[in-house]
Structure 1
Amino acid sequence: MSWQRPLLNRWLRLTERPVLAKGAPETVRRNLETKSRLFFRPPRAAEVRRETVGGVPALVVGAERPGAGPRILYLHGGGYVFGSARTHHGLLGKISQMTGLEAVLPDYRLAPEHPFPAAFDDALAAYRAMAAAPGGVIIGGDSAGGGLALALLAEILRQGLPKPLGVFAFSPLTDMTFSGRSFSENAARDVMLPAARASEMGEMYLGDADPRDPRASPLHAGFNGAPPVWLTVGRTEILRDDTLRMAETLRAEGVEVDEIIEGDLPHVWPIFHSYLPEARATLRHLAAWIRPLATTAAPRPDES
């Protein structure tokens, strides 16, 4: 483990966890938006533009010379309450640079102003629009967005829509009943996410909806015939078991799963790729997984 890891963990525990534990949605949103402008910027060569995809506003992020292959549909995290395309476009700029693929980040509607299934409906609309174009789609996401990516995959399979080439997720939230043992086992160890706030955030998003609805909790969805799935999570995260159980569910249905369980790393650590060596290593692993799926992508870009 790097010397940067314990410093980052301490900083997150002292500065970010208290905001997530007590801040109102507006406060948490402002905090993340402000810090993303300072710390989560895309590579200089990345091109960023606004588009509307399936009626949903989005940021499109590409390397300087994106390939002609598929595009990535990426669903940002934030508990369905905060986060945006802008807070995560730096991460996708790096992924685009490492894979040669363009990434689309929808600004799906957030709770509590737009409760379930607004985020899901927006993700599905964006996917339908992207799947209609040649080249194919790779779906990705983190945290709640990772759960949304997997829920979207299940709905694509259920409706018989064109399948994505693959799906990847960083620390996904896959069970809105919050029944994983890691919610209690890692409540004090998770340096970023406060377990005590999960139910409140869930209520903001779900309202009176069933938390076991597959569109909210892909752990309870069906995945027969799904394409390959890549998952990663940290051992000390409260969402650890959301990934472990999701991988078991997928494998039980014959899905090819790459499951990477890391050590004492913070929630969605790849977003800290500018500072954390472990984040860059994880992104290199992901890029190596994506390239075989993207058979029409540009020649391999620089991975530095």
Structure 2
Amino acid sequence: MTVSTRQRFWNRFSRWVEKPLIAAVRSQPLLRRVAAQHARLFYHRPPDLRVESDRLTHGERSVPGWWCHRGRSRLPAVLLFLHGGAYTVGGPASHAHWAGALADASGMRAFLPEYRLAPEHPFPAALDDAETAYHALLTQLPAGHRIVLAGDSAGGGLAFALMARLQAAGLPDPLAVVAFSPWLDLTLSGDSVRRHRASEMMLPLSWLRHAARLYAARAPGGCGHPLVSPLFHTYQRPLPPTLMLCGAEELLSDDSVRMAQRLQAGGTRVDLLLRPGVGHIWPVHAGLTPEADAANDRVAAFLRAELARAHTPAPEPAS
């Protein structure tokens, strides 16, 4: 498959700048500041992107976050986007441009919760905050509106952990689930961790191991807890239609492959895109590479189709 010149540039940038930098900075608070600056400098933020801070509340819990859109929301749905960053870095500031692009292409608004991060707030703080945001949206959205659940990397893992929580609580499912290069196994047992160690462009294995320990510090069973590593969770029923996108040569590619196999065996309709020649969460480069734009367009088409299907009246039974 042909790889564009712009994508090759970002592949090299990830390999020779981002990956060594992530490996070198051991302080997660410092890495957060570096990541925020990186997002401001290198990600394409459209001039018409609108960002509005808010706090979603359910019961005694609340979570701050950002609404992101470009003034053209036209469909009765909200994209709840859970950012990546190995549960230790990242936030709405680093993902607003991407969530806004996805929301705009899909015809909806996006909300990015600023969930708490490890090591200050290990598991289950991030999952508690994601559940609070979801529950608040359920009660606050107008009748007929649906929630779409999306996340990248650790946020993708968090999305699948949230699905487990929603099922256990008996809450309504989201319309669909989208995961970009999801981190689903914090034990790092997938064969791709060994097979793709040299081809991985962004993620240092040492950093993933360190972040996994920080996040799972208080989890019974550590990194193998099924809500820390949702690959090991057994869902009570099929999940909503699910789309996963992952680079074919990533360290974490087997996380997506194994989860797709497990979900399909349980009756979930899953579409898995393994794209060669791109790095971890490559669609984050929205507006910068044709590969990123094509991936985001595919996600938007998937979400529009699911929303249309949900609002299509069932056919009348034959008389």
Shorter-chain TM-score above 0.5: yes
Matched, 1:192 2:206: no
Shift of 1:276: 1.1
Which residue among 167, 175, 179 is the counterpart of 2:189? 179
Deviations 1:105-130 (A, max 9, x none): 00000000101110000001101011
State the partner residue of 2:65. 58
1:225 equivalent in alignment to 2:238: yes
In structure 2, what is the equivalent of residue 246 of structure 1?
Answer: 259
Q: Is the 8 A contact 2:181 2:253 kept in 1?
A: yes
Kept in 2, the 8 Å contact 1:41–1:89? The answer is no
**Per-residue displacement from partner, 1:66-89 (whole Å, max 9, x unpaired)?**
124110100000000000011000
Q: Which whole-Å CA distance do the structure 2 matches of 1:294 and 1:67 have between them?
A: 12
* Aligned mates of 2:209, 2:276 — CA distance in 1: 26
1:17 maps to what in 2? Answer: 19
Paired residue type of 2:17: T
**TM alignment of 1:63-78, pairs within 5 A:** 63-78=70-85
Name which of 145, 151, 167 aligns with 2:155: 145
1:167 is aligned to 177
Aligned 1:1-304 pairs, distance under 5 A: 1-23=3-25, 24-54=27-57, 55-132=62-139, 133=141, 134=143, 135-209=145-219, 210=221, 211-223=223-235, 224-295=237-308
SS state of the match for residue 224, structure 2? coil
Q: Secondary structure at the match of 2:53?
A: strand
TM value normalised by structure 2: 0.90
Contact 1:42 1:92 in 2 (8 A): no
Q: Is the 8 Å Cα contact of residues 63 and 101 (structure 1) preserved in structure 2?
A: no
Distance 1:112 1:79 in 2: 11
Letter in 2 for 1:218: P
Query: In structure 2, how many angstroms separate the alpha carbons of the residues matched to 1:41 and 1:276?
Result: 10
Change (3 A) 1:296 1:96: farther
**More moved, 104-113 vs 27-36:** 27-36
Q: Percent identity?
A: 37
Instruction: Determine the structure 2 residue equivalent to 1:301.
Output: none
- Please say if residues 44 and 286 of structure 2, whose CA atoms lie closer than 8 Å, have aligned partners that are also in contact: no
1:160, distance to aligned residue in structure 2 (A): 1.2
What SS does the aligned partner of 1:141 have? strand
Of the two, which has the highest radius of gyration? Answer: 2
Amino acid at match of 1:220: F
Work out the CA distance in 2 between the residues paired with 1:156 and 1:42.
33
Gaps of 5+ in 1: 298-304
Q: CA RMSD in A?
A: 1.5
Consecutive unaligned residues of structure 2, counting only runs of 5 or more, are 311-319
SS of 2:66's equivalent in the other structure is strand
User: How far 1:294 sits from its partner (Å)?
Assistant: 2.4
Counterpart contact for 1:69–1:295, Cα < 8 Å:
no
Which secondary structure state, in structure 1, belongs to the residue aligned with residue 80 of structure 2? strand
Q: Retained in 1: the 8 A contact 2:44–2:288?
A: no
For the residue of structure 2 that corresponds to 1:4, the secondary structure is helix
Deviation at 1:56, TM superposition (A): 0.3
Secondary structure in 2 matching 1:33: helix
Distance between the aligned counterparts of 1:174 and 1:261, measured in 2? Answer: 16
Do the aligned partners of 1:146 and 1:171 also contact (CA within 8 Å) in 2?
A: yes
